[in-house]
Chain A
Amino acid sequence: MADAREAHGGVGTAAGRGRRLRAGVSSHVRAFVRTPINVVLLIALPIAMVEGYGAAMEAFPSLPFIDTAQMVEMGRLNGAMYTVAFFAGVLGLFQVISALQADERLRICGYSRVELFVSRLVTVVIGSLVITGVSLAVLWWSTPVAAPIAAFGALALAAFIYGLIGMLIGAVLPRALEGSLVLVFLVDADDFFSSGILDLNAAILNVFPLHFPHQLFRDAVFDGTVATADAVGGVAYLLVALAVVSVLYVRLTGDGGVAA
């Protein structure tokens, strides 16, 4: 019996880890998809946000640093970015929160702490990729995108960064109300500062999560270019976020937390 289990991948074997990861991710995704409203959100949110922000910025008078014609497109671009970032952020937060309830049981059955974290992370990545695709498609419908692949990359970067931030908040503040409050306040400040309706250049704004992705996205959509400095900055931000979240998540969710 023990041999059969080893053959199928006991705890600690690579085959076992792979199977558990697949099982974990597919069950999280299934749980998400089986709530119809979530699937509706996946489509409705990008449309509402892209068009909403486009309309919102349309009424603004021409500003010295951005001409009127670009205002609507800028709005739509912002809408696409906010959709992916905030979808991923909330997804990350709630994945971690639901993990608290469910994963402890899985851990006792044989999942390791790291496996549980990775399965949640992969779920967030999958969700991020889907929302990025949908949002880019919605944007492209009404606005020409000069460099689609770079644009996809920039959007996905924003999603991944915020997905990690959501997970981090969930690990530190594993309660839905508190976590949502922090995420909402963080997100809205970031949203506004990167929107471009005010000409801002305080140094502290470079630290906000959307700073690099927004620049990259803008360049990719309007000019078809990729500024190396921004790309490096963005990826560095992502890697730092990944490192911080991994360490904190695994440490904070020890005994009595998500997974040991």
Chain B
Amino acid sequence: MSRGRLGSDRLATAFEMGLREYARTPVLLALLAFLPAYFVGIFVYVLPASEVPITVPGAGRTLVATIEVYGVLLIPMMGALIGGLAGLFVMLTARDADGRLVVAGYRPVHLVIARYVLIAIAGLVAIGVSIAVLAIEFVPERVGWVVAASFLLALTYGMLGTLSGLILSRLAGVYTMLMLPMIDVFFFQNPMVEEYHWIAAYLPAHGVIKVATDAGFTSSVNLDPLLGAVGYFVIAALLATGAFYRSLRV
């Protein structure tokens, strides 16, 4: 069936077409930039110029400006929100056409990778915009690691978005993405707590926020928690990809 067309060709075309599909909706692109800007902006505007004690991994209880700790939480949270909704919609909107493309000769892996790259790009844009707006008030100490950790969270929530859309429904997926990132990042993982609730360790942002907090306020970052975070991502990715494959043929 394949007449000499390389897998990389198919992958590139799939990615290109995915990009064209989404780049054609200017409203969506505008929202991708505007919504994180709005969210971070309003936090910068509203948060009082006070200080709060937080637990910085490796440095113990430290007093920091409120906007700084929430800044460090906001970056991954924006990644998670955009990534989650992208995962829910980008993967699942064109399933009939996907099924047909697979019958025509695409291997599902081409579609999957091309789409995951789209999700990753969306996450990066959100993270980039957030950092830019936050920079009005605060630039994290080791910005690079904050970005890296946030990116990982965006991808993880992307997988969870896809999974919830496939296993539950699109409606349930929207509710999940609406509730989960917020309560995960801003509540359960909030470094204002002295001791984590036991649930916190089982949520996606646990390792990521530890590293982000560390990177936000100290110059030497302990990357061990990322291991758990990567593991979480890998499991979520396997489940989501498996469910997607199955959905192409059931």
Contacts and interface: CB of A to CB of B under 8 A. Distances in A.
B183 interface: yes
B31 interface: yes
Interface stretch (B10-18, B34-42, B218-226, B237-245): B34-42
A61 B193 CA distance: 6
B171 interface: yes
Interface string A57-90: 1111100000000000000000000100011001
B120 interface: no
A45 interface: yes
Given A184-B85, A188-B178, A178 B31 contact: yes
B174 interface: yes
A181 B197 contact: no
Given A86-B175, A200-B46, A60 B193 contact: yes
B85 A204 contact: no
Name the residue among A82, A189, A200 with the largest chain B CB count within 10 angstroms: A189
B183 A86 contact: no
Contacts of A49: 179
B188 A56 contact: yes
Contacts of B38: 185
A35 interface: yes
B182 interface: yes
Interface residues of B, number: 47
Contact of B89 (A59, A87, A177, A204): A177
Interface in A217-253: none
A202 B178 CA distance: 24
A180 B2 CA distance: 39
Interface string B145-177: 000000000000000000000001111101101
Contacts of B193: 59-61
Interface residues of A, number: 46
Binding site of B, secondary structure by majority: helix, strand, loop or mixed? helix
B192 interface: yes
B96 interface: no
B234 interface: no
Interface string A193-230: 10101111010110000000000000000000000000
Given A41-B175, A181-B35, A55 B182 contact: no
B115 to A, nearest CB: 14
B190 to A, nearest CB: 7
Contacts of B28: 177-178, 181
Contact of B169 (A35, A185, A202): A35
Q: Which of A37, A182, A192 has the most CB of B within 10 A?
A: A192
Nearest to B181: A188
From B48, B171, B187, B196, residue with most partner A Cβ within 10 Å: B187
Nearest to A35: B169
A198 B169 contact: no
Centre residue among A53, A178, A197, A199 by max chain B CB count within 10 A: A178
24 contacts: A38-B169, A38-B172, A55-B197, A60-B193, A82-B179, A175-B25, A175-B27, A177-B89, A178-B28, A178-B31, A180-B88, A181-B35, A181-B82, A184-B85, A184-B174, A185-B35, A185-B38, A185-B39, A188-B178, A188-B182, A192-B186, A197-B187, A197-B190, A200-B47
Interface of B: 25, 27-28, 31, 35-36, 38-39, 42-43, 45-48, 53, 66, 81-82, 85, 88-89, 93, 168-172, 174-175, 177-179, 181-183, 186-188, 190, 192-197, 199-200
Interface of A: 35, 37-38, 41, 45, 48-49, 52-53, 55-61, 82, 86-87, 90, 94, 173, 175-178, 180-185, 187-189, 191-193, 195, 197-200, 202, 204-205
Given A56-B183, A178-B28, A204-B46, 18 more contacts: A37-B172, A55-B197, A60-B190, A173-B27, A178-B25, A180-B85, A180-B174, A181-B31, A181-B85, A184-B174, A185-B81, A188-B39, A188-B181, A195-B187, A197-B187, A199-B48, A200-B48, A205-B46
